[in-house]
Chain A
Amino acid sequence: MNLRIIGALISKDFSLFFRNRFFALMTPVGLIAYLVMYFMMPSSVNESLRLGLYAPATLPAFGQIQEEGLEIEAVGSEEALREAVTEGKYVAGVAIPADIMERLTQGQKPQINVYFASDTPGELKDAVGLVVRELAYAQIGQPLAIEVSEKILGRDMLGMQIPPRDRLRPLLVVLLIMLETLGLATLISEEVERRTIQALLVTPMTVKDLFAAKGTVGVILAFGQAALFMAIVGGIGRQPLIVLAVLMLGAVLVTGIGFLMASLAKDMMSVMAWGVVAFVILLIPSVSVLFPGTTTGWVKAIPSYYLVDTIHRAANFGSGWGDVWPNLAMLMGFGLVIVWIGIMALRRRFR
């Protein structure tokens, strides 16, 4: 392999890539768009039901139940309670009548007013109703002969939930690296169509040099953007080496896919057509991170699963090498096989 030739090819490919107005524009615009999308998503998870309580009478049960997931804050007047609910300070405002204890002891059914903001979803109104009713049961001491034994499955994330935007990170990374692959595939397919590759191969450049150069361009484009994105969104703060390693392996994988697309496509339009197919397939594993429980075991047959899962675990849970090495090994295996298939397919097309 001749490093000088490879260097020259890489520099030529970068120049051609950025000469294509579509990809030259899409590269920065895509990155900015994904960053905007990320920063527009909620950065925290509101774990608690925050209720305002106006209670002229003393209700011990309402104070005792203040535990995980439920915050009850006392408010001075019913008017202040209504104002606070309208301003969105509380999910709901509970106003207890002054004579509630008397009426409860007399066996009457007092009315409790629960205030909601106009945009409160119906299911939340119903849920708050259930909470208030249960508090009332607790207040009158009506027993329930049920003993619940709790078992937490998986790591208990109470108080340290993953915000939606961090769940979105793996999906955005896959989108970013795939977008760059479209550029690489277009470059190669256009060279094949214009027969410039055949022209190159009659020079001292070897087929190995050619693939080394194209592969390097693909990996740099995909890895560079994904790493920059992860750095900006704070995705490499917890396990930088693992995240960078998995992005590198992901870049190798999509470069292989780029080779495959280039072997099938004739121009930018057909690259995009094949690209959509690849996009859809590779994005499926991200769905399992965004919407836990929506996919089953079959998703592990998709190579990007190992990329998505590793990013999710390393960036969001801080998982170490010991936890993620099987994923890295699988991703490397898939990447090498796909690159090899891609090279074989392209070589056939050169002939």
Chain B
Amino acid sequence: MSLRRVGVLLGKEFVQGPKNFIFIWALVAPIVISLVVSLVFGTLFSEKARLGVVAEGGSQLVAIARGLPSVTTREYSTVSEMKQAVESGVVDIGIVLPLDFDSSVRQGEKTEVTAYIWGESLAKSRTILGVTIANLARELAGQKAPVEIKSITLGDEVSIPWNDRLLPFIVLMAVFLGGLFLPATSLINEKGKKTLQALVVTPTTMGDVFLAKGLLGLILSLFMGIMVLILNQAFGAEPTLLLLVLVLGATMAAEFGLVLGALIKDFTTLFSTFKLGGILLWAPALVYLFPQIPEWVGKVFPTYYLIQPIVEISQRGGGWPEIATNVLILVGLDLLLVGVVMLVLKRTKQHAV
């Protein structure tokens, strides 16, 4: 094996890669999916009521409303702009505060507020916004709350937001999409075009080719894993440990990719295999998606040993003691897969000669 030749082959893969759909897809898909998940679970399932305000003469009410965690407040400069926002559902209710609203409220003078309500807004949003507006006006008028409210949380179950539950799935996708598909499609492509046979009649060995393609998958997979963790604000704690786990996960992805690439003849078979066998890769994500599923179910699948340390570090504040066993199992799986890669490499050599 020649490191120089591996380097040349790897350089070629990186130059040719951006022309390949899978390369682009492996880069774009995890980021897009990560953003879509944030949008869907930050917006679609958010029940936060949205208030629009036009304060014709300026009002402190807007600043107070912005500080409330129960509503999202947007200020508009004109009534027509706000009406448009209400009609399209940007806000649930839009209110127009007249000139001298603040002084009228403080002096207890009767003042009229026009409220535009989006027809599709939920009844509870209307109620929450109604009491919010009243509370804001009372605060502005200097009225003191007649009661003290004590919030008591029952039970010690920690609620896990959907964004967090979906993180393992997104990380797996980021690591495996590029890590697995790039080496696999690259090998299949070379086999299809018969360039693999052409390569091995030069001093380049099949091992050099496999190593270069594996490294390509590993590097891209590692890069995407880090990107997705950064995008999800999950890379802050223990970055060195996270990096170690990601390297091991990316190695596993690249090894799977090399094995599939060596054994499969064409793209359609690869995609079909992935559609059916993909469940083995994604299954551990389901354990985190639905905490009702017992954790031992996840342990049956190899990718669990990549995901558990990442979730432990990034979401539960764990360190090396909590992840050591699973990381060692991951190392073991990687070594086992190295053996499988060596076997298919031998088989490919025999077929290529």
A49 surroundings in chain B (CB, below 8 A): 124, 127-128
CA distance A120 to B155 in the complex (A): 11
Q: Chain A: residues with CB nearer than 8 A to chain B?
A: 20-22, 25-26, 29, 45-49, 67-70, 82, 85-86, 100, 104, 109-127, 129-134, 136-137, 139-140, 142, 144-159, 161-162, 164, 268-270, 272-273, 276, 290-294
Task: Knowing A48-B123, A124-B70 are in contact, say whether A114-B150 is a contact too (CB < 8 A).
Answer: yes
Q: Is the CB of A291 within 8 A of B158?
A: no
A124 surroundings in chain B (CB, below 8 A): 47, 70
From residue A271, how far is it (CB to closest CB) to chain B in Å?
A: 9
CA distance A207 to B71 in the complex (A): 61
Task: Knowing A21-B269, A118-B155, A159-B123 are in contact, say whether A140-B146 is a contact too (CB < 8 A).
Answer: yes
Given contacts A130-B128, A155-B120, 13 further A-B contacts (CB under 8 A): A25-B272, A47-B124, A111-B150, A112-B147, A118-B157, A120-B153, A123-B47, A124-B70, A127-B70, A145-B104, A153-B118, A157-B120, A276-B25
Among all A-B residue pairs, the 5 with the closest Cβ atoms = A292-B89, A69-B123, A119-B159, A293-B90, A69-B127
Between B132, B149, B155, the greatest number of chain A beta carbons within 10 A of the residue's beta carbon is seen for: B149
A157 surroundings in chain B (CB, below 8 A): 119-120
Q: Is the CB of B120 within 8 A of A162?
A: yes
- Is B203 close to A, CB under 8 A? no
From residue A155, how far is it (CB to closest CB) to chain B in Å?
A: 5
Could you say which of A68, A119, A121, A273 contacts B157, with CB atoms under 8 Å apart? A119
Q: Is the CB of A154 within 8 A of B135?
A: no
Q: Is the CB of A148 within 8 A of B131?
A: no
Could you say which of B112, B124, B149, B267 contacts A132, with CB atoms under 8 Å apart? B149
Between B116, B133, B145, B146, the greatest number of chain A beta carbons within 10 A of the residue's beta carbon is seen for: B146
Residue of A nearest to B152 (CB): A115
CA distance A85 to B120 in the complex (A): 28
- Is B316 close to A, CB under 8 A? no
Q: Is the CB of B70 within 8 A of A148?
A: no
Q: Is the CB of B143 within 8 A of A142?
A: yes
CA distance A291 to B90 in the complex (A): 9
Task: Knowing A21-B272, A116-B151 are in contact, say whether A156-B128 is a contact too (CB < 8 A).
Answer: no
Mask: chain B, 50-79; 1 = CB below 8 Å from A; 0 = not: 000000000000000000111100000000
B148 surroundings in chain A (CB, below 8 A): 109-112
Residue of A nearest to B157 (CB): A118
Q: Is the CB of A270 within 8 A of B21?
A: yes
A149 surroundings in chain B (CB, below 8 A): 112-115
Q: Is the CB of B138 within 8 A of A118?
A: no
CA distance A20 to B268 in the complex (A): 7
- Is B166 close to A, CB under 8 A? no
CA distance A94 to B49 in the complex (A): 21
From residue A143, how far is it (CB to closest CB) to chain B in Å?
A: 8
B86 surroundings in chain A (CB, below 8 A): 153
23 A-B residue pairings within 8 Å (CB atoms): A49-B124, A49-B128, A69-B122, A109-B148, A110-B147, A111-B149, A112-B149, A115-B152, A116-B151, A117-B155, A121-B159, A123-B47, A124-B47, A124-B70, A129-B70, A129-B151, A137-B134, A137-B143, A144-B137, A164-B45, A269-B20, A269-B21, A293-B90
- Is B213 close to A, CB under 8 A? no
Q: Is the CB of B69 within 8 A of A123?
A: yes
Q: Is the CB of A147 within 8 A of B128?
A: no
Could you say which of B85, B113, B123, B134 contacts A293, with CB atoms under 8 Å apart? B85
Could you say which of A118, A140, A273 contacts B21, with CB atoms under 8 Å apart? A273
B71 surroundings in chain A (CB, below 8 A): 123, 127
Task: Knowing A154-B118, A162-B120 are in contact, say whether A145-B39 is a contact too (CB < 8 A).
Answer: no
Residue of A nearest to B125 (CB): A69
Residue of B nearest to A95 (CB): B152
Residue of B nearest to A140 (CB): B146
**Count of B interface residues, CB-CB < 8 Å:** 79
Could you say which of A125, A137, A147, A161 contacts B151, with CB atoms under 8 Å apart? A125
Residue of B nearest to A100 (CB): B147
CA distance A155 to B95 in the complex (A): 19
Between B68, B88, B113, B141, the greatest number of chain A beta carbons within 10 A of the residue's beta carbon is seen for: B88
CA distance A124 to B153 in the complex (A): 13
Task: Knowing A29-B275, A123-B48 are in contact, say whether A150-B115 is a contact too (CB < 8 A).
Answer: yes
CA distance A29 to B278 in the complex (A): 13
CA distance A86 to B271 in the complex (A): 46
CA distance A127 to B149 in the complex (A): 12
A104 surroundings in chain B (CB, below 8 A): 146-147
- Is B3 close to A, CB under 8 A? no
Q: Is the CB of A47 within 8 A of B105?
A: no
Task: Knowing A68-B126, A127-B70, A131-B131 are in contact, say whether A145-B111 is a contact too (CB < 8 A).
Answer: yes
A136 surroundings in chain B (CB, below 8 A): 145-147
Q: Is the CB of A156 within 8 A of B137?
A: no
Q: Is the CB of B152 within 8 A of A114?
A: yes
CA distance A254 to B114 in the complex (A): 46
Could you say which of B126, B132, B137 contacts A69, with CB atoms under 8 Å apart? B126
CA distance A147 to B115 in the complex (A): 10
Between A130, A131, A145, the greatest number of chain B beta carbons within 10 A of the residue's beta carbon is seen for: A130
Task: Knowing A110-B147, A124-B70 are in contact, say whether A115-B120 is a contact too (CB < 8 A).
Answer: no
Q: Is the CB of A269 within 8 A of B267?
A: yes
CA distance A46 to B122 in the complex (A): 8
From residue B282, how far is it (CB to closest CB) to chain A in Å?
A: 13
A125 surroundings in chain B (CB, below 8 A): 151
- Is B81 close to A, CB under 8 A? no
- Is B44 close to A, CB under 8 A? yes
Q: Is the CB of B150 within 8 A of A118?
A: no
B91 surroundings in chain A (CB, below 8 A): 293
Q: Is the CB of A114 within 8 A of B118?
A: no
From residue B343, how far is it (CB to closest CB) to chain A in Å?
A: 26
Q: Is the CB of A130 within 8 A of B105?
A: no
A82 surroundings in chain B (CB, below 8 A): 154
Q: Is the CB of B70 within 8 A of A291?
A: no
A69 surroundings in chain B (CB, below 8 A): 122-128
Could you say which of A85, A100, A120, A269 contacts B22, with CB atoms under 8 Å apart? A269
Task: Knowing A136-B145, A144-B138 are in contact, say whether A158-B269 is a contact too (CB < 8 A).
Answer: no
B126 surroundings in chain A (CB, below 8 A): 68-69, 158
A272 surroundings in chain B (CB, below 8 A): 21
